[in-house]
Amino acid sequence: MTSPPVTGPAAAPRHRGGPGPARFRPRRTPPAGTVRPSRRGVVSHWRQYLAISPFFLIFGVFSLFPVCYSLYLAFQRWDGMGTVQFVGLDQFRFLWDDPVFWLSIRNTLAIWVLSTVPTLFGALVLATLLHSVRRFKGFYRIALYIPNVTSIVAVSIFFGAVFSNNFGLVNAILGTVGISPVPWLSNPWLIKLVIALLMTWMWTGYNMIIYLAGLQAIPTQIYEAARLDGAGPIRTFFQITMPIMRPIILFTVIISTINGLQSFSEPQVLFGSNAANPNLGGPGQAGLTTLLYFYQSAFVNNDYGYGAAIVWAFFVLIMVLVVVNWRVVQRGRKS
Amino acid sequence: MTAVVPRRSRRPRGLTAHIVLVLAVLISVFPFAWTIVMATNTTEDIYKSPPKLTFGSHLLENIRHVLDTIDFFGSMLNTVVVASVTTVLVLFIDSLAAFVFAKFDFPGRKVLFATLVGFMMLPLQLAVLPQFILMSDIGWVGTLKALILPALANAFGIFWLRQYIENGVPDELLDAARIDGAGFFRQYWNIVLPMIRPALSFLAIYAFVNAWNDYIWPLVVLNDPAHLTLQVALAQLHVGHTTDYSMVMAGVLMASVPLVVVFTIFARGFIAGATEGAVQGS
């Protein structure tokens, strides 16, 4: 089922009748990285252009054009069928005054914080522990990574079942010790907590693997030296491990910001809409993330212009947060 | 890279580490175990208080219910086709482009590569709506083509393979091949591809898992209930039959087991590849 890489057998390059170095003339293919672009460059590199053309053709049609087109749509009013009407900044003005949009932003940010902080912290702790043990390393790595390859739909259904208000396992367990059922999937904060738990479960192993790679790259001599200087494990961790790991932590913070803010499937599957409850995002729309609101506006209400405006405003938010996170992690370096 | 054995191994510390790690592993695999419990029991057993905590004997019955309710194997076939075709094509397109970006200098190289990396950072959702409009205009809504083609613009693969080729394939080897008369494509096929096998197998699993688990785009673009991917079918099963837990859980089990098995088989190489990419990418 999993297709192996499309490599031929490692055939050795064919040797022709002994062309000595003296007769070597770079023909149409210039030596790697040595020839400067010239006017004839474009023509003589036709093979290279041909080789990258499949990607750039598909990229142009299915990525570049759609992104530009969605920016155009954000300034129009269109339901997908009638005429497209230019409305200027109206969509964004409406967005600014739309309480549901701001609710979705608050939900997204809350879920993001509730999931990213424990994910990255847990990943760092687990990676440090895993780095320190000798046995079963391979087993731990695989077993802890598995949550990341399970489908969000399956995991969301599972969490919905386990945290179900009436019959879920969690409430059943709480019941045996005399705690009355907790409304996990109807209290606004508990809804966010369940979604965040789900994301933490899925992403801790992934980040742990990245941290582990970083830890393995630190030369052990540094630790030897620190130990000889009398530094304890805690001090070593904060004074040696953390500073060296900073670029990797920055990488994971950026990735978690981009991924974590894009939660969509979790609430969509947990609180699938139906006729009785047309609003997405569960009771009180407490699980309505921004992408889910985009989905509702664009594909349920067929309000294409507004959908495009939401997704662009959301993109700006992600960029702002990425820059802020970058600054925070970078500033730590100087102190 | 061999793990350096810590000089002083104080037993208690190692033991604590193992205890915490085993707990973490239990949390990781618990959902799978509990899914099996729910899928092998009847819904009444799960609803009972306290619920049944052991494996039951109703798995086949629950599976039969799933097969009666949704076109499980049809959607699985769709998913397998989409994921396989996407993976093979992504590997080919991306490795070819990565080779060019790693080893050739040509007019426009920097601009093209910068565009590619820039778009790698953009959230995919910016493009979803226009992609849908595009698909409706060319009449591809509801077809598998609509799932495969956009997934082929995999900029991450090029970015990642390029780094691997730049460091892993020596220029001297390519020069030697050129002296021996190997043209561009032969260099790619006979030298570069065999040398980047580890990177390719990582990308293969990455692309396959992503295609298999993709949800938002199939949800948007597949409108024919008889023609879905596994994830969308599973979500429908859930929405339509929320009360029949044991059946839904049997569906969850059937939908996630194949991928977890495949992953476990290839996991070693995949995790090695993932860590390498992450460290290089940072």
What does A76-134 look like in DSSP terms, one character per residue? Answer: EE--SSS--EE-TTHHHHHHHT-HHHHHHHHHHHHHHHHHHHHHHHHHHHHHHHHHH--
Q: Is residue B1 part of a domain?
A: no
Q: Sort A193 into a burial class: Cβ within 10 Å, 0-12 / 13-18 / 19+.
A: middle
Neighbour count for residue A32 (Cβ, 10 Å): 19
Q: A236-271: per-residue pLDDT in tens?
A: 888 888 888 888 898 899 889 888 898 899 999 988
Q: A183-216: per-residue pLDDT in tens?
A: 998 899 999 999 999 999 999 999 999 899 889 8
H/E stretch holding A190 reads helix A188-216
DSSP code string of A264-294: -HHHHHHT--BTTB-SSSSGGGTT--HHHHH
CB contact under 8 A, B180 and A13: yes
Q: How many whole angstroms separate alpha carbon B253 and alpha carbon B235?
A: 13
Q: B7-64: per-residue pLDDT in tens?
A: 454 455 688 899 999 999 999 999 999 999 999 998 888 777 677 788 888 899 999 9
Q: Is residue B233 part of a domain?
A: yes
DSSP code string of A11-50: PPPPP-S---GGG----SSPPTTTSPP-TTHHHHTHHHHH
The answer to whether A261 and A321 are in contact (CB under 8 A) is: yes
What chain B residue is nearest to A142 in terms of C-alpha separation? B267
Q: What is the pLDDT of residue A335?
A: 52
Q: Is residue B201 part of a domain?
A: yes
Q: Best interface-test mutation with A: which of B129, B152, B214, B247 has the largest number of A CBs within 10 A?
A: B129
Residues 6+ apart with CB under 8 A from A122: A200, A204, A208, B24
Helix, coil or strand: residue B71: coil
Q: Is residue A123 part of a domain?
A: yes
Q: What is the pLDDT of residue A23?
A: 34
For chain A, the straight-line distance linking the first and the last C-alpha, in angstroms and rounded, comes to 51
CB contact under 8 A, A13 and B212: no
Same domain as B266, residue B144: yes
The DSSP letter of residue B169 is S
Give the one of B35, B91, B220 whose C-beta lies nearest to A5's C-beta. B91
Q: A69-84: per-residue pLDDT in tens?
A: 999 999 999 988 888 8
Determine the average pLDDT of the residues in A143-158: 92
CB contacts of B158 in chain A (<8 Å) are 55
The answer to whether B153 and B115 are in contact (CB under 8 A) is: no
Q: Is residue B2 part of a domain?
A: no
Same domain as B160, residue B213: yes
* CATH of residue A192: 1.10.3720.10
What chain B residue is nearest to A247 in terms of C-alpha separation? B282
Q: How many whole angstroms separate alpha carbon A147 and alpha carbon B252?
A: 14
Residues 6+ apart with CB under 8 A from A165: A171, A181, A182, A183, A184, A185, A186
CB contacts of B216 in chain A (<8 Å) are 264-265, 291, 295
Same domain as B143, residue B31: no
Q: Is residue B267 part of a domain?
A: yes
Q: Is residue A44 part of a domain?
A: no
Estimate the share of chain A in helix, then strand, then coil, as percent rounded to the nearest 5.
65, 0, 30
Residue-number span of the structural domain to which A277 is assigned = 94-334
Neighbour count for residue A333 (Cβ, 10 Å): 10
Long-range contacts of B186-192 (CB under 8 A, 24+ apart): B186/A13, B187/A29, B187/B99, B188/A51, B188/B95, B188/B96, B188/B99, B189/A8, B190/A8, B190/A10, B190/A11, B190/A12, B190/A13, B191/A13, B192/B95, B192/B99, B192/B165
CB contact under 8 A, A212 and B183: no
The answer to whether A77 and A85 are in contact (CB under 8 A) is: yes
CB contact under 8 A, A151 and B259: yes
Same domain as B239, residue B150: yes
What chain A residue is nearest to B258 in terms of C-alpha separation? A1
Q: Is the pTM of this model over 0.90?
A: no
Q: Is residue B237 part of a domain?
A: yes
Q: Is residue A15 part of a domain?
A: no
Q: Is residue A81 part of a domain?
A: no
Same domain as B251, residue B159: yes
The answer to whether B191 and B176 are in contact (CB under 8 A) is: no
CB contacts of B29 in chain A (<8 Å) are 143, 146
Give the one of A6, A11, A274 whose C-beta lies nearest to B88's C-beta. A6
ipTM > 0.95?
A: no
Q: How many whole angstroms separate alpha carbon A150 and alpha carbon A159?
A: 13
Kindly indicate the confidence band of residue A21, based on its pLDDT and cuts at 50, 70 and 90. Answer: very low
Q: Best interface-test mutation with B: which of A24, A65, A128, A158 has the largest number of B CBs within 10 A?
A: A158
Does residue A167 have a pLDDT over 80? no
Same domain as B76, residue B22: no
Q: How many whole angstroms separate alpha carbon B109 and alpha carbon A224?
A: 45
Residue-number span of the structural domain to which B48 is assigned = 11-57
Same domain as B146, residue B38: no
* CATH of residue B124: 1.10.3720.10
CB contact under 8 A, A142 and B267: yes
CB contact under 8 A, A52 and B96: yes
CB contacts of B88 in chain A (<8 Å) are 3, 6
Q: Is residue A1 part of a domain?
A: no
Q: Is residue A303 part of a domain?
A: yes
Q: How far is CA A133 from CA A216, A261, B26, B153, in A?
A: 12, 34, 18, 41
The answer to whether B72 and B251 are in contact (CB under 8 A) is: yes
Same domain as B116, residue B20: no
Q: Is the peptide bond before B50 cis (omega within 30 degrees of 0)?
A: yes
Neighbour count for residue A20 (Cβ, 10 Å): 7
CB contact under 8 A, A32 and B171: yes
What chain A residue is nearest to B261 in terms of C-alpha separation? A146
Q: Is residue B179 part of a domain?
A: yes
Same domain as B77, residue B53: no
Give the one of B180, B204, B252 whose C-beta lies nearest to A14's C-beta. B180
Same domain as B81, residue B17: no
CB contact under 8 A, A51 and B119: no
Give the one of A27, A137, A144 whose C-beta lies nearest to B3's C-beta. A137
CB contacts of B169 in chain A (<8 Å) are none
Q: What is the pLDDT of residue B12?
A: 54
The DSSP letter of residue A241 is I
Same domain as B112, residue B35: no
Q: What is the pLDDT of residue B2?
A: 46
Q: Best interface-test mutation with A: which of B18, B35, B104 has the largest number of A CBs within 10 A?
A: B104
Number of H helices, E strands in chain A: 15, 2
Q: How many CB pairs under 8 A join A and B?
A: 374
Same domain as B104, residue B16: no
What chain A residue is nearest to B115 in terms of C-alpha separation? A64
Q: B216-242: per-residue pLDDT in tens?
A: 999 999 988 778 999 999 998 888 776
What chain B residue is nearest to A318 in terms of C-alpha separation? B123
**Domains in chain A, number:** 1
**Domains in chain B, number:** 2
Name residue, tokens 């990255």.
Answer: A120
CB contact under 8 A, B126 and A298: no
Q: Which of A303, A305, A220 minimizes the C-alpha distance to B5?
A: A220
The number of residues in chain A equals: 335
Q: What is the pLDDT of residue B26?
A: 96
What chain A residue is nearest to B3 in terms of C-alpha separation? A216
Q: Is residue A11 part of a domain?
A: no
Give the one of B25, B264, B268 whose C-beta lies nearest to A144's C-beta. B25
Kindly indicate the confidence band of residue A2, based on its pLDDT and cuts at 50, 70 and 90. Answer: very low
User: In one letter, which amino acid is B149?
Assistant: L
Q: How far is CA A324 from CA A65, A299, A327, A331, B233, in A?
A: 29, 32, 5, 11, 39
